[in-house]
Amino acid sequence: MSIYLIAVIVYLAIMSLIGVFFAKSSIKNNDDFMVAGRSLPLFVVIGTLLATFVGSGTVVGGASFVYQYGPFAAIFNLSGGFVGAIILYFIASKIRKSEIYTVPELMEKRFGKATLLISSIFIIMAYVGITAYQFTGGAYVLQLTTGMPLEWGAVIMCVVVIFLTVSGGLFSVAYSDAISALLIVVGFLIGVPFAISAAGGFSNMAAVMPENTLSWNGGLTFPQLLGFFLPLFLLVLGDQNMYQRFSAAKDPDTARKSTVGFFFGNALVIGLTIILATTAIVIFPNIKPDAAILTLATNGLPLIVGLLILSAAVAFLITTGTSYLLSASGNIVYDLIQRFSTKPISEKRLLWYNRLTVLVLGVLAFVLGQFFPSVLAIQMYSYTMYGAAITPAILATVLWKRATKAGILSSIIIGGSATMFWELVLDRPFDWNSVLFALPLSVLALVIVSLLTQKKAVLPNLSNDQATNG
Q: What is the pLDDT of residue 96?
A: 79
The residue among 257 and 457 whose pLDDT is bigger is 257
Q: What is the pLDDT of residue 95?
A: 77
Q: Is the pLDDT of residue 111 over 70?
A: yes
Q: What is the DSSP string of 123-151?
A: HHHHHHHHHHHHHHHHHHHHHHHH---HH
Q: Is the pLDDT of residue 464 over 70?
A: no
The alpha-helical segments, DSSP class H, found in 331-390 are 347-369, 375-389
Average pLDDT, integer, range 371-378? 60
Radius of gyration of the chain (CA): 21
- Cα-based angle 340, 33, 102 (whole degrees, multiple of 5): 45
Assigned domain for 443 exists:
no
How many alpha carbons fall within 13 Å on the CB side of residue 249? 29
Q: Is the pLDDT of residue 439 over 90?
A: yes
**Each residue's pLDDT tens digit, 306-330:** 888 787 777 777 777 888 888 888 8
Question: Around Cβ 208, how many Cβ atoms within 10 Å?
Answer: 12
Q: What is the pLDDT of residue 152?
A: 87
Output DSSP code: residue 468: P
Buried b (16+ CB within 10 A) or exposed e, 140-163: bbbbbbeebebeebbbbbbebbbb
Assigned domain for 204 exists:
yes
Max CA separation in the chain (angstroms) = 69
d(CA 382, CA 310): 25
Q: The CATH number of the domain where 344 resides is what?
A: 1.20.1730.10
Average pLDDT, the chain: 83
Assigned domain for 82 exists:
yes
249 DSSP β-pair partners:
40
40 DSSP β-pair partners:
249
Assigned domain for 355 exists:
yes
Find how far residue 412's CA is from the centre of its chain: 19
**Each residue's pLDDT tens digit, 256-308:** 899 899 889 888 988 999 999 999 999 999 888 878 888 888 888 888 888 88
Assigned domain for 400 exists:
no
Q: Is the pLDDT of residue 64 over 80?
A: yes
d(CA 239, CA 249): 16
Assigned domain for 245 exists:
yes
Number of domains in the chain: 1
The phi and psi torsions of 249 (rounded to 5 degrees) equal -65, 155
**With pLDDT > 70 as the criterion, what percentage of the chain qualifies?**
91
Q: What range defines the domain where residue 112 resides?
A: 3-29+41-374
Q: Is the pLDDT of residue 22 over 80?
A: no
**pLDDT category of residue 468 using cuts at 50, 70 and 90:** very low
Assigned domain for 447 exists:
no
Output DSSP code: residue 38: G
d(CA 289, CA 61): 9
CA distances from 239 to 70, 263, 280 (A): 27, 15, 31
Assigned domain for 121 exists:
yes
